[in-house]
Amino acid sequence: MKIVIGASYGPSLLNFRRDLIREMVGRGHRVTCISVEPKEEMEEALAALGAAYETVGGSRTGTGILENLAMFLRYIKLLWLVKPDLCFFYMAKPIVFGGSAAVILGVKRIYSFITGLETAFYSKSGKDFVLRCLLCLCYKFILHFSKACFFMNRDDIKRLGKWKVVREEKAVLVNGSGVNMEHFMRLPLPEEPCVCMTARLVQGKGVREYFEAALLVKKKYPEVPFLLVGGFDEHKEAIREEELFALLEEGAVTYCGHAEDVRPYLKECSIFVLPSYHEGNGRSIVEAMAAGRAIITTDAPGCRDTVVEGYNGFLVPPGDVGALAGKLELLVRNKELRTSMGDCSYLLCKEKFEVSKINNTLLLTMGL
C-alpha cells in the first residue's frame, strides 16, 4: 500500500514518527513523507528508515494568501504523482491543505491527527478569532471525509465536538505521540536537586513563568541549578533573543541552547518543569517521565494528562508563578518525594505512553 505522511515541521517526522514510519515500512508499505523543508535536509534520514521524502516548500507558520495557495497546489501535484492509497496528516497546514488535496483527488482513506489545537483556539484577539473560525470550517470539511481523527487529549475532543467540527464516532483518543523507552531510558536520580525545562522558546510554553519561579526559589535555595533547554522559534509568540538575554541577566536560570538530544539534561536534573498554557500531550514531559523524573506542569489541556496529582508530580494553574514556586520548593527540599515521584513517573510512562502502544492503536485504526 502507498502511504503519504504529511507534516509541517520536517524534524517531527524523525523525532515523533520515526517508529511509526519504520513499522509501516516493515509491514511492506511504501511510505512517502511530505513537509516544508528542502529535500537535502530530510531525504537521507528518511531514506534510512525506508521512506521517500518530498517537499511542498513554504513556511509552517506563514499566513500569506499567495504562499499558502502555492503550498496547496504543490500538495495537489505531489499527491497526484504519488497516488497514495492512504493519507495520514498531522499539524494544521497538512490537515487543511493536504487533506483538501486528498479529497479533490479522490483518496478514499484519509486520517487526520490533531496533535494539539493551535494558539488561535485559546487566544482572545480579533485576528485569532477569525483564524479560529476559518480553521474550524476547514477542519469540519476535512474531518467529514476522514475515516478517523486522532486526538492527544480529551479537552481537544470536547472543544471541537462542542463546535460541531468532529463527530464523536470519528474521534480516536491516543496518549500522545508516545516515547521509545529503549531510547529514552530510565536514568539514575542525582543526589542533589536540579530543575530542568525543555521547550521551544515560545510564550505559551510558560518560559517567563519559569524564570520568575526560579527567582523566587533561589531566594531560599540559591545553590539549586535551573536549566532551560530549547531553541528560538518562528512562532508569532516566540521569545526573542534580546528578551531572553534580559531574563538571563537576572542570574536564576542557565540557558543551554537548542539540543538535538535532551537526554544529557534529563540525566542532570531531578525535577522537570513545563508551565505551558496548553499542549497536545506534552512530549517533553513524557520524555522526562521515561527518565524517571518528578514532574511539575499545569492543569491545562494536554499537560494534565501526564500527571496524577501527588503521584508522579504536581499540577499548578497556568500562569500562577507562586503556585509553581511553591511546588518547586517542596520537591527541592524533599529528596524522598523526588525519588518516589520519579519512580511513579517511569511506571506511568510505561503504562500509558510507550510508543509501541500508541502506534498499535494508530495502525489498527488505519487497518495497517
Q: What is the pLDDT of residues 231-267, one digit of tens each?
A: 887 767 778 888 999 989 999 999 999 999 999 999 9
Please check the confidence at residue 128 and state whether its pLDDT lies above 80.
Answer: no
Q: Are strands 2-6 and 195-198 parallel, antiparallel or unpaired?
A: unpaired
Per-residue pLDDT, 150: 97
Residue 192's SS3 state is coil
The larger pLDDT score, comparing residue 130 to residue 75, is at 75
Q: Which of 111-115, 201-205, 355-359 has the lowest mean pLDDT?
A: 201-205
Local confidence band at 286 (pLDDT 50, 70, 90 cut-offs): very high
Residue 315's SS3 state is strand
Per-residue pLDDT, 124: 73
Query: Percentage of the chain surpassing pLDDT 70?
Result: 97
Per-residue pLDDT, 6: 97
Closest CA to 332 of 348, 345, 357, 314: 314
Average pLDDT taken over every residue of the chain: 94
Decide which of 3.60.21.10, 3.40.50.10710, 3.40.50.2000, 3.40.50.1970 is the CATH code for 195-352: 3.40.50.2000
Distance, in Å, from the CA atom of 117 to the CA atom of 131, rounded to the nearest integer, reads 12
* Amino acid residing at 314: F
CA distances from 204 to 94, 115, 212, 237 (A): 22, 16, 15, 7
The larger pLDDT score, comparing residue 285 to residue 242, is at 285
Q: Which residues partner with 322 through β-bridges?
A: none
Per-residue pLDDT, 120: 67
Per-domain residue ranges of the chain: 2-178+354-365, 195-352
Distance, in Å, from the CA atom of 337 to the CA atom of 274, rounded to the nearest integer, reads 19
Rounded (10°) angle between helices 207-220 and 321-332 = 50
Per-residue pLDDT, 53: 98
Q: Give the position of cell 536564576.
A: 252
Its pTM stands at 0.91
CATH 3.40.50.2000 fits 2-178+354-365, yes or no: yes
Evaluate whether 2-178+354-365 and 195-352 have a shared fold. Answer: yes
Q: How do residues 293-347 score in pLDDT, each as one tens digit?
A: 999 999 999 999 999 999 999 999 999 999 999 999 999 999 999 999 999 999 9
* Amino acid residing at 25: V
